[in-house]
Amino acid sequence: MKKASRSGDNRGVLMNDVARRANVSPMTVSRALSNPDMVSEKTRAKILEAIEQTGYVPNRLAGSLASNRSNTIGIILPSLKNSLFAETIQAASDVLSKKGYLLLIADSGHLLEEEEKLVEAFLGQRVGGMILHNTLHSERTMAMISNAGIPVVETGDLLAEPMDMSVSYSNFEASKAMTAFLVKKGYKRIGFVAMLTENNNRARLRRDGYLAALDELGIKVDGSLMIEASSSLEAGRDALTRLLQIETKPDAVFFAGDIMAAGAAFECKHRNIKIPEDIAIASFDDLAILQHMTPSITSLQIPRVAIGHEAAEIIISRIEGRETSVVTKDLGFKITQRQST
Amino acid sequence: MKKASRSGDNRGVLMNDVARRANVSPMTVSRALSNPDMVSEKTRAKILEAIEQTGYVPNRLAGSLASNRSNTIGIILPSLKNSLFAETIQAASDVLSKKGYLLLIADSGHLLEEEEKLVEAFLGQRVGGMILHNTLHSERTMAMISNAGIPVVETGDLLAEPMDMSVSYSNFEASKAMTAFLVKKGYKRIGFVAMLTENNNRARLRRDGYLAALDELGIKVDGSLMIEASSSLEAGRDALTRLLQIETKPDAVFFAGDIMAAGAAFECKHRNIKIPEDIAIASFDDLAILQHMTPSITSLQIPRVAIGHEAAEIIISRIEGRETSVVTKDLGFKITQRQST
DNA sequence: AAAGCTTATGATAGCGGTAACATTTTGTCA
DNA sequence: TGACAAAATGTTACCGCTATCATAAGCTTT
């Protein structure tokens, strides 16, 4: 269409154009935008009018470059497929956009090296801070982050020694608590369905919590009651099916991963197995469907929204210079007993 | 901690440092990174080594500013709360990150003025392209976009006259098809639960599709069979309850919004209403749970993944200069008949 | 009304890269 | 082997904005 010559390109309205129109220097325009109080009311009005008239949109790349400040925050999740992170993202996004920050999002597909690449890309983009859901990182990832000196929050699990900051709940404690809850309810053979543990520390911690609870309560662990499954309805159905095939069936199953419990419940209905009479079911997460199902399903409420919220808040605090002594913030969890146990 | 003086600040390793270490000019380093073939193999090796040693991470803000090219794409959704967009986001993200683009994400909360602000913020960030799910925009939004001259894809509905490009399916046709399907199945009084139509063109189009089908098939519309509800399980249950209270009850209900049908199915189970004997249920979306429920629920399959995929592809094509003649791409839909009808 | 402040605005020099053009090195062929 | 094109590298200016310091304008104060 148009010649692509450097000088000829219309790159749009510049701060300079606004300045000329308002009869001030570009610097004053800059101030009017980022430090309104440093500019007299009259001048500000002139400038705003000029902006309006010209349709000027400040170039934040240039701004960030010059000021060495950025208004983007990066978030890396292990996956976007599951809706699970939706609430967290939304919460973070709410807080951030309210304060004028933009959210860069990416998923690592549970791969450490992919996370590494993404961290590098985000740092290249000079994000002001990062939220990482995974708590397991490559050496280089950690080196790059510590080198960058930006605030970073890890949200996947409560960390005693985070790279920088940790905002979460304890997967171990949560899992342990639910297991103990089931034991106290009188269940004797409690099955455990873990998420895939490869590269997923949360999955391991949940499994460890289950084991710790049994151990503490003096119950012998039966390996055949423990299996792994991916996070999906199908996997949940599958897992249930498998557990029903072992010699001495479980009287309760604790699904320590996303939406698997719902899948299992569907499978029970399908097979006409009564919950909780024939088998009790408990879930780690607390998706809306779990409480709407018949019977409703006992589950652990994870502070998804709070995590997004707090992570964003804490990063902003740090970016804006408030010294946050907080390094680790435990947002807790809650067990909601429902009809399934 | 440290003095915050401009010169004193350690802003990290610069291209210059790498250049010196590799005994070349910065420009050669730049080329080695963005146009490897323009640099001799030997030099490239030296440079890569220097980069490795120094841990240099190119500043893309500076790069984008100088080259007037950006590696970020923005996506604005009406909401992140529902998981609904997860698949689309993931699909887009996959394509984009594979090609080295980063995804900026934000939600407008179904508000046109919020969308406007976000578009401005994205343009300020000089995104290379944008994906907008909403198809209704403020005047200024459209002005800004046309002015920016970047590729923009609207994905919420198939548009005859998109601002720039449209990648989607026809909400109207889909809704009409499902309604016709129910009619053909022999249902006489088909209830319709719409999403909230305010600021939501898709909601209106779906309603219009329902009306058009009835009209075409010579069925009189009964206003009492049409209600609006927000997108949630609760709202679905509620809607069903309301429809069961009218004098002449519907024998089928078409839920034209996200997850409402699942809510309705739960409510039926709760009230011991048989599906499809007492009432048939059809859903607009096709979430995994719908096919796992008992009975499984007839629904419309929306090309969520394809939309994200294609939208991203087409934007990249345009950014990279390939002239895409495509303006509107219809990805279609599919009705999956299940036990509920 | 001049001195002494505070407040508002301007001039200048980068931020860290890349485009465009200039120059050097290398390779090729008569 | 000299001439010349192609390939590799360097030089310079500038992308659009902001930090910093300098200057001008407004306000007290006595």
The answer to whether residue B311 scores a pLDDT higher than 60 is yes
Query: Is pLDDT at B274 greater than 90 in this prediction?
Result: yes
E strands, chain A, in order: 72-77, 102-107, 129-132, 152-154, 165-168, 190-194, 226-228, 252-255, 280-283, 298-301, 328-330, 334-336
Delimit the domains of chain A by residue range.
Answer: 15-58, 71-169+304-331, 171-301
Return the bridge partners of B167, or none.
B329
- A16 CB contact with strand D at below 7 Å: yes
Q: Is B88 exposed, middle or buried (0-12, 13-18, 19+ CB in 10 A)?
A: buried
Label residue B325 by pLDDT band (50, 70, 90): confident
Alpha carbons A255 and A210: distance in angstroms, whole number: 11
| Contact criterion met (CB below 8 Å) for B221 and B283 | no
Nearest to B105 by CA among A86, A307, A63: A86
pLDDT at B85: 85
Closest-lying nucleotide for A34 based on CA to C1': D18
C-alpha dihedral sign at B110, B113, B118, B119? positive
| Same fold for the pair A15-58 and A171-301 | no
Give residue B3's pLDDT. 29
Judge whether residue B309 has pLDDT over 70: yes
Q: Min CA distance, A245 vs chain B (Å)?
A: 21
pLDDT at A54: 95
Strands A252-255 and A190-194: parallel
Average pLDDT value for chain A: 92
Residue A324 has what pLDDT?
72
Looking at residue B11, what is its pLDDT? 64
Nearest CA in chain B to A264: B292
Secondary structure element (H or E) that encloses residue B103, with its range: strand B102-107
Question: Yes or no: is domain B171-301 CATH 3.40.50.2300?
Answer: yes
pLDDT tier at A11, thresholds 50, 70, 90: low
Beta-carbon separation of A266 and B292 below 8 A: yes
Instruction: Specify the residue for token string 């002015």.
Output: B147
How many Å does it take to go from CA A234 to C1' C21?
62
- Summarised one tens digit per residue, pLDDT across range A180-217 is 999 999 999 999 999 999 888 999 999 999 999 999 99
Q: Does residue A233 surpass a pLDDT of 70? A: yes
Residue B152 CB partners (closer than 8 Å, separation 6+) = B129, B130, B131, B132, B145, B163, B164, B165
Q: Which residue has the tokens 């495509």?
A: B326
Fold of B15-58: 434 Repressor (Amino-terminal Domain) (1.10.260)
The answer to whether the CB atoms of B144 and A57 lie below 8 A apart is yes
**Closest approach of chain B CAs to the CA of A94, in angstroms?**
8
Q: Which residues of A touch B123 (CB under 8 A)?
A: 57
Closest-CA residue of B relative to A144 is B55
Chain Cα centroid distance, residue B318 = 19
- The architecture that CATH gives domain A71-169+304-331 is 3-Layer(aba) Sandwich (3.40)
Q: How confident is the model at residue B322 (pLDDT cuts 50, 70, 90)?
A: confident
Q: How confident is the model at residue B2 (pLDDT cuts 50, 70, 90)?
A: very low
Residue A212 burial class via C-beta count within 10 angstroms: exposed 0-12, middle 13-18, buried 19 and up: middle
A255-274 mean pLDDT: 92
Residue A135 has pLDDT above 70, yes or no: yes
The overall average pLDDT reported for chain B is 92
Residue A189 has which token pair? 């053979």
d(CA A341, CA A261): 12
| Region B174-198 average pLDDT | 95
Instruction: Kindly report, residue by residue over A267-277, the tens digit of the pLDDT.
Output: 999 899 999 99
**Best residue of A71, A127, A267, A292 to probe chain B, by most B CBs closer than 10 Å:** A292
Residue B324 has pLDDT above 80, yes or no: no
What is the model's pLDDT at position B12? 86
Of A87, A233, A294, the CB nearest to B269: A294
Residues 84-143 of B with CB under 7 A from strand C: none
Would the pLDDT of B83 be above 80? Answer: no
Q: How confident is the model at residue A92 (pLDDT cuts 50, 70, 90)?
A: very high
Percent of chain B residues topping a pLDDT of 90: 84
Give, as ranges, the nucleotides of chain D with any atom within 7 Å of a protein CB.
Answer: 7-12, 14-20
Q: Spelled out in words, what is the top-level CATH class assigned to the domain B69-169+304-331?
A: alpha beta
* pLDDT, tens digit (0-9, with 9 covering 90-100), for A273-306: 999 999 999 999 888 889 999 899 999 999 999 9
d(CA B66, nearest CA chain A) in Å: 9
Reported as a single tens digit per residue, the pLDDT across B18-70 is: 999 999 999 999 999 999 999 999 999 999 999 999 999 999 999 999 999 99
Q: Which helix (H) or strand (E) holds B239?
A: helix B233-245
Straight-line distance from CA B100 to C1' D6, in Å? 31
Which of A65, A100, A124 minimises the CB distance to B58?
A: A124
List, for residues B246-257, the tens digit of each pLDDT value: 989 999 999 998
Output phi, psi for A34, to 5 deg.
-105, -20
d(CA A66, C1' C7) / Å: 25
Cβ-based neighbours of A65, under 8 Å, separated by 6 or more = B59, B61, B62, B65
Nearest to A65 by CA among B135, B102, B14: B14
Chain A interface test: which of B59, B67, B71, B80 (most A C-beta within 10 Å)? B80
